[in-house]
C-alpha cells in the first residue's frame, strides 16, 4: 500500500497541452479511476505516473518520495497495458517471472511467487502455455499477474479491458476489484467507460482537455456533477439551453424556478428524473420514438423549438410515438458557462400536478446542500 | 438433379475452369523466365562441370571440382570471399541494428533525416560509389589531403586491399539491411518494451530478452540476403579490391574472359551457387518457422 500525490502535473506535446496543471492525492489502498473521453489526457497522466513520459512541470510523490524523474524500472509502480503487452516468445510462467529473474531472486523463490501470482488471478497451471494460446481475458490476467508478482506499491491500469467483450469486461472488473481489495493495493485505473468507473472506483477523477473537471466519489460524480461536461459525460443527461427571466428558467418548454440572475443557462435533467404526463396543445412535447428495454421504456421526445430529449417511463405505461406529453423534472441542475449554479426549489411546487409532486421529494437533502454550496 | 441445377453446375464448373486457366497463364510468364534464365543455365552448368567429353562421348567426372579444391589460388579466392562476406554481414548487422532501433522507437524529427541518410546509398549506383570511395579513401584522396593539411600522417589506404570492398559493400548494403530489420522491428510493439521496463529491465535487458528474440528470424533473413548479395557482388570487389587474392565475382570474370577457361568458371559458379543455396535454405527455414509461430 502506498500514498500517491500528484502536484501541478503538466505535459505539452507540440502545441497541444495534453495535461494541464493536474493535482490529485490517492490514499493508501484506494482505487482511483481517471475517466474522460479520448484525448482528455488521462493516459498521459498514467504514463507519467509509470515513468514512461516525463512531465514538463509538476511532481509525483509516492509515500512522500519524489519519483518524478525516476525511470520506469526504478519506480515502485506496476503497469497493466491496454494491449496486454505480453511477450509472445515466452510462455506464461516466463512472462510473469521475468521481473523476478531480473532481480536475481533464488530460483525456488521465483517459482513460488510466480505460481502464487498465477493462482491469485485464477490461472494456476497455465504456466507452460504460450500467451497466444490464451483468450483475451486470460491474457489480461497474465498481464495483471506480471505486475502483481513484483508487489508494486501502486498499480496502474491503462484501459485494461478495452479489448474484451462486454460480458468478460464485467467479470474482469469484478475480479480486479476483488484482487485490489484482497491485496490492499493502491490503484490508478484509466478508462473512458463510465460504467467501469462507477462500478470499480473509490473515487473518480473526470478529465477533459488535460484538466481535472471533478474528483469525487462515484455517486457524487453521478448525482452532483459540478460542470455541464461531467453532467453530460457520466450517464445519460438532457442538457437544454434556456433563458432565466425573473427567477424562472425556461428551456424547451420546461419551466423551473431558479435563484439566478437573468441570462442564458443550461437545464440538466437525467431521463429517469423526468416525469411524463399525457397532454395536448402547442406547448406539449411530442413522443418521437419509444424503445422498450424490458426494465424501462426509453421515450425520445421532441420539445417545442425542436429540441430532442430523452425520458424514461415504466414498462406498460402506454407511451407510443406520436403521443404528446408535458415534462415535469423531478430533479434537475442548472449550469451557466458550464458550471453548476442552480438547484431546484423545495418540493411540493404548486405548478406540478399532484401526481408528480410526491416524486419531487426524491431530491436528496444532501444533494441540495451540495448544490447550494456550489451555487456561489 | 433437375435440368436447371445441372445447367447451374455446368456454368459454375466453367467459371472455375476459366479461373484456373487465367491463374496458370498469370504464373506462366514468371515460371518460364525462371526456367529459361536461371534453372536451365544452372542445370547446364552443373551438368557440364560433372562431365567430361571423351572419345566415346560424355562421361561423369569430378575432375573440375578436384582441380578447384586442390588449387591454392582458387581456394584463397573462395576463402577471401567467405571472409569478406562474414565481416560485412557482422558489420552490417552491428551498424544497422542500433540505427533501426533508433528509427523504430524515436519520435523526433531527426529520425526522419537519419532514415533518409541511411537509405541514400540505395539510390547511388555501385560504380559511382566505387569511384567516390577511391577519391575519398584512395591514395592522395580527400582523407589524405585533410590529414596532410592538419599535419597528421596519412592513413594506410583500404583501396586495393580486402578492406576496400568491405567498406564499399557495407555502404552499399546498409539500406537493404536497415529496411529488413526495420520491418522486423515493426512487430515489436512499444508497449512490450514499456512492459519490460516496467518490471525492471534496463536498456540492455530489453534488447537481449525482448527485442532480439522477437527479431531473431528477421536477423537471419537479413544475414541470408546480405550473404547472397555479397557472393554475387562484382562491381565493388572488382574496382576496390585487391587483384590477388580476389573475390569470386571478379575471379569468375577473369577465368572466363582472360584465362578463357569456361569449365573452371562454371565450376567456380556452381561452388558459389552451392554456398548461396545453403544460406537460401536458412532463409526459407526461417520464413517457414516465422509463419508457423504466427499461425500457432
State the DSSP string of chain B.
--HHHHHHHHHHHHHHHHHHHHHHHHHHHHHHHHIIIIIHHHHHHHHHHTEEEETTEEEE--HHHHHHHH-HHHHHHHHHHHHHHHHHHHHHHHHHHHHHHHHHH--STHHHHHHHHHHGGGGS-HHHHHHHHHHHHSTTSHHHHHHHHTTPPPPPP-TTSTHHHHHHHHHHHHHHHHHHHHHHHTTS-HHHHHHHHHTT--HHHIIIIIIHHHTHHHHHHHHHHHHHHHHT--HHHHHHS-SSS--HHHHHHHHHHTS--HHHHHHHHHHHHHHHHHHHHHHHHHHHHHHHHHH-
> CA-nearest residue of chain B to A99?
B199
Task: Locate A174 and state its grid cell.
Answer: 469484478
Of residues B157, B162, B159, the one with CA closest to residue B88: B162
- Tens of pLDDT, residue by residue over A15-50, are 899 999 999 999 999 999 999 999 899 999 999 999
Residues A18 and A111 in one domain: yes
List, in order, residues 6 or more apart from A68 with CB less than 8 Å away. Answer: A54, A55, A58, A59, A60
What whole-number distance in Å separates Cα of residue A157 and Cα of residue A164? 14
Confidence at A358, pLDDT banded by 50, 70, 90: very low
**Residues of chain B with confidence (pLDDT) below 70:** 1-4, 14-17, 293-296
Torsion angle of C-alpha atoms A95, A99, A102, A107, degrees rounded to 10: -70
Q: Is B18 exposed, middle or buried (0-12, 13-18, 19+ CB in 10 A)?
A: exposed
* Largest pairwise CA distance in chain B: 99
At B288 the pLDDT is 83
Of residues A307, A222, A340, the one with CA closest to residue A270: A222
Residue A227: alpha-carbon gap to chain centroid: 14
Residues A233 and A216 in one domain: no
B200 inside 8 A of chain A by CB? yes
CB contact under 8 A, B201 and A73: yes
Contact present, A138 and A123 (Cβ < 8 Å): yes
Domain boundary among A223, A253, A274: A223
Strands A324-329 and B57-60: unpaired
Residues A286 and A197 in one domain: no
Residues A143 and A263 in one domain: no
Q: What's this model's pTM, rounded to 2 decimal places?
A: 0.75
Looking up residue A237, the CATH number of its domain turns out to be: 2.40.50.140
B108 inside 8 A of chain A by CB? no
CB contact under 8 A, B198 and A102: no
Residues A137 and A232 in one domain: no
Sole residue written with cell 485494461 = A160
| pLDDT higher than threshold 90 for residue A359 | no
CB contact under 8 A, B200 and A147: no
Q: Which residues pair with A313 in a beta bridge?
A: A297
The mean predicted confidence, pLDDT, of chain B is: 88
H or E stretch covering A66: strand A65-66
What whole-number distance in Å separates Cα of residue B241 and Cα of residue B48? 30
Chain B hits for A88, CB-CB cut-off 8 Å, are: 214
Exposure of B267 in the CB half-sphere (CA atoms within 13 A): 23
Which member of A81, A130, A133 has the closest CB to residue B195?
A81
Contact present, A20 and A9 (Cβ < 8 Å): no
Residues A162 and A75 in one domain: yes
Lowest-confidence region among A63-77, A335-349, B23-37, B48-62: A335-349
Residues A291 and A348 in one domain: yes
Domain boundary among A223, A245, A266: A223
**What's the gap in Å between the CA of B176 and the closest CA on chain A?**
26
Helical segments of A33-91, H only: 42-50
What SS3 state is found at A118?
helix
Chain A hits for B296, CB-CB cut-off 8 Å, are: 130, 132-133
What whole-number distance in Å separates Cα of residue A136 and Cα of residue A124? 17
Beginning with the edge strand found earlier in the chain, give each strand of the sheet holding A65-66 in spatial order: A16-26, A4-13, A57-62, A65-66
**Alpha-carbon distances of A233 from A158, B94, B141, rounded to whole Å:** 19, 52, 70
What whole-number distance in Å separates Cα of residue B44 and Cα of residue B67? 19
Residues A117 and A152 in one domain: yes
At A372 the pLDDT is 33
Of residues A253, A290, A284, the one with CA closest to residue A269: A253
Chain B hits for A131, CB-CB cut-off 8 Å, are: none
- Tens of pLDDT, residue by residue over A124-163, are 999 999 998 898 889 988 999 999 899 899 999 998 888 7
Q: Which residues pair with A24 in a beta bridge?
A: A6
At A34 the pLDDT is 95
H or E stretch covering A7: strand A4-13
B209 inside 8 A of chain A by CB? yes
Q: Where are the beta strands (DSSP E) in A138-273?
A: 154-158, 186-191, 203-208, 211-216, 238-245, 248-251, 254-257, 263-269
Domain boundary among A194, A223, A252: A223
Q: What ipTM goes with this model?
A: 0.76
| Tally of domains within chain A | 2
What whole-number distance in Å separates Cα of residue A239 and Cα of residue A306? 14
Residues A293 and A364 in one domain: yes
At A342 the pLDDT is 65
- Tens of pLDDT, residue by residue over B46-100, are 998 998 888 888 888 999 999 999 999 999 999 999 999 999 999 999 999 999 9
Residues A11 and A113 in one domain: yes
What whole-number distance in Å separates Cα of residue B29 and Cα of residue A2? 70
Domain that holds residue A318: 228-375
- Tens of pLDDT, residue by residue over A238-282, are 999 999 998 888 888 888 888 888 999 999 999 999 999 888 877
Chain A hits for B191, CB-CB cut-off 8 Å, are: 81-83, 85
Which member of A85, A130, A132 has the closest CB to residue B195?
A85
What whole-number distance in Å separates Cα of residue B111 and Cα of residue B104? 9
Lowest-confidence region among A83-87, A200-204, A352-356: A352-356
At A366 the pLDDT is 35
Of residues B102, B92, B86, the one with CA closest to residue B162: B86
| pLDDT higher than threshold 50 for residue A363 | no
Task: Locate A47 and state its grid cell.
Answer: 504514463
Looking up residue A63, the CATH number of its domain turns out to be: 3.40.50.300
What whole-number distance in Å separates Cα of residue A223 and Cα of residue A231? 9
At A139 the pLDDT is 92
What whole-number distance in Å separates Cα of residue B250 and Cα of residue B236? 10
What whole-number distance in Å separates Cα of residue A142 and Cα of residue A99? 13
Residues A50 and A183 in one domain: yes
- Candidates A50, A98, A113, A142: best to mutate against B (most CBs of B within 10 A) is A98
Which bin fits A38, alpha (ψ -120 to 50), beta or left (φ > 0)? beta
| pLDDT higher than threshold 50 for residue A349 | no
Torsion angle of C-alpha atoms B5, B6, B11, B13, degrees rounded to 10: 110
What whole-number distance in Å separates Cα of residue A140 and Cα of residue A153? 20
Residues A232 and A215 in one domain: no
Amino acid at each position: 500500500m502506498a500514498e500517491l500525490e500528484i502536484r501541478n502535473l503538466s505535459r505539452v506535446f507540440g502545441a497541444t497541452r495534453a495535461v494541464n496543471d493536474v493535482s490529485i492525492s490517492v490514499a493508501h489502498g484506494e482505487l482511483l479511476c481517471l475517466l474522460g473521453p479520448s484525448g482528455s489526457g488521462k493516459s498521459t497522466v498514467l504514463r507519467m505516473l509509470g515513468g514512461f513520459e516525463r512531465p514538463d512541470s509538476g511532481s509525483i510523490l509516492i509515500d512522500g518520495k519524489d519519483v518524478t524523474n525516476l525511470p520506469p524500472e526504478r519506480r515502485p509502480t506496476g503497469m497493466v497495458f491496454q494491449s496486454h503487452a505480453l511477450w509472445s516468445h515466452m510462455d506464461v510462467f516466463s512472462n510473469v517471472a521475468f521481473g523476478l529473474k531480473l532481480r536475481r531472486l533464488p530460483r525456488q523463490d521465483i517459482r513460488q511467487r510466480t505460481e502464487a501470482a498465477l493462482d491469485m488471478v485464477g490461472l494456476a497451471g497455465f504456466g507452460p502455455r504460450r500467451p497466444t494460446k490464451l483468450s483475451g481475458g486470460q491474457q489480461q490476467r497474465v498481464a495483471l499477474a506480471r505486475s502483481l508478482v513484483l508487489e508494486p506499491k501502486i498499480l496502474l491500469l491503462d484501459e485494461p479491458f478495452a479489448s474484451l467483450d462486454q460480458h468478460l469486461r464485467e467479470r474482469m472488473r469484478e475480479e480486479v476489484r476483488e484482487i485490489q481489495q484482497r491485496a490492499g493495493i493502491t490503484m490508478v485505473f484509466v478508462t473512458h467507460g463510465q460504467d467501469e468507473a462507477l462500478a470499480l472506483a473509490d473515487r473518480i477523477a473526470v478529465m477533459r482537455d488535460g484538466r481535472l473537471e471533478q474528483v469525487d466519489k462515484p455517486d457524487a460524480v453521478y448525482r452532483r456533477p459540478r460542470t455541464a461536461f461531467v453532467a453530460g459525460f457520466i450517464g445519460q443527461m438532457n442538457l437544454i439551453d434556456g433563458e432565466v427571466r425573473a427567477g424562472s428558467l425556461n428551456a424547451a418548454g420546461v419551466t423551473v424556478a431558479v435563484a439566478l440572475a437573468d441570462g442564458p443557462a443550461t437545464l440538466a435533467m437525467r431521463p429517469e428524473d423526468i416525469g411524463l404526463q399525457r397532454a395536448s396543445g402547442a406547448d406539449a412535447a411530442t413522443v418521437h420514438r419509444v424503445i422498450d428495454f424490458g426494465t424501462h421504456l426509453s421515450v425520445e421526445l421532441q420539445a417545442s423549438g425542436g429540441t430532442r430529449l430523452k425520458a424514461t417511463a415504466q414498462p406498460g405505461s402506454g407511451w407510443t410515438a406520436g403521443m404528446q406529453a408535458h415534462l415535469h423534472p423531478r430533479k434537475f441542475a442548472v449550469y451557466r458557462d458550464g458550471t453548476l449554479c442552480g438547484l431546484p426549489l423545495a418540493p411540493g411546487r404548486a405548478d406540478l400536478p399532484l401526481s408528480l409532486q410526491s416524486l419531487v421529494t426524491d431530491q436528496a437533502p444532501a444533494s441540495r446542500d451540495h448544490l447550494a454550496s456550489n451555487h456561489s | 438433379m433437375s435440368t436447371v441445377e445441372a445447367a447451374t453446375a455446368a456454368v459454375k464448373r466453367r467459371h472455375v475452369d476459366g479461373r484456373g486457366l487465367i491463374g496458370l497463364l498469370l504464373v506462366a510468364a514468371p515460371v518460364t523466365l525462371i526456367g529459361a534464365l536461371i534453372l536451365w543455365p544452372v542445370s547446364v552448368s552443373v551438368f557440364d562441370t560433372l562431365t567430361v567429353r571423351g572419345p566415346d562421348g560424355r562421361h561423369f567426372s569430378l575432375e573440375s571440382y578436384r582441380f578447384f579444391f586442390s588449387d591454392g589460388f582458387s581456394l584463397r579466392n573462395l576463402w577471401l570471399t567467405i571472409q569478406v562476406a562474414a565481416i560485412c554481414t557482422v558489420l552490417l548487422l552491428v551498424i544497422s541494428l542500433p540505427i533501426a532501433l533508433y528509427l523504430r522507437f524515436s519520435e523526433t524529427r531527426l529520425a526522419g533525416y537519419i532514415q533518409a541518410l541511411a537509405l541514400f546509398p540505395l539510390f547511388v549506383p555501385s560504380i559511382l560509389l566505387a569511384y567516390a570511395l577511391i577519391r575519398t579513401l584512395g591514395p592522395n584522396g580527400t582523407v589524405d589531403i585533410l590529414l596532410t593539411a592538419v599535419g597528421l600522417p596519412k592513413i594506410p589506404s583500404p583501396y586495393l586491399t580486402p578492406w576496400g570492398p568491405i567498406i564499399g559493400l557495407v555502404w552499399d548494403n546498409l539500406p537493404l539491411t536497415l529496411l529488413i530489420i526495420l520491418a522486423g522491428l515493426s512487430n515489436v510493439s512499444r508497449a512490450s518494451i514499456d512492459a519490460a521496463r516496467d518490471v525492471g529491465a534496463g536498456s540492455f535487458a530489453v534488447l537481449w530478452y525482448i527485442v532480439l528474440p522477437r527479431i531473431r528470424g528477421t536477423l537471419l533473413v537479413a544475414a541470408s540476403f546480405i550473404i547472397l548479395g555479397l557472393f554475387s557482388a562484382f562491381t565493388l570487389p572488382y574496382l576496390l579490391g585487391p587483384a590477388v587474392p580476389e573475390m569470386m565475382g571478379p575471379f569468375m570474370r577473369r577465368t572466363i574472359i582472360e584465362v578463357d577457361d569456361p569449365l573452371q568458371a562454371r565450376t567456380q559458379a556452381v561452388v558459389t551457387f552451392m554456398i548461396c543455396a545453403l544460406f537460401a535454405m536458412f532463409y526459407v527455414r526461417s520464413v517457414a518457422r516465422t509463419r508457423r509461430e504466427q499461425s500457432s
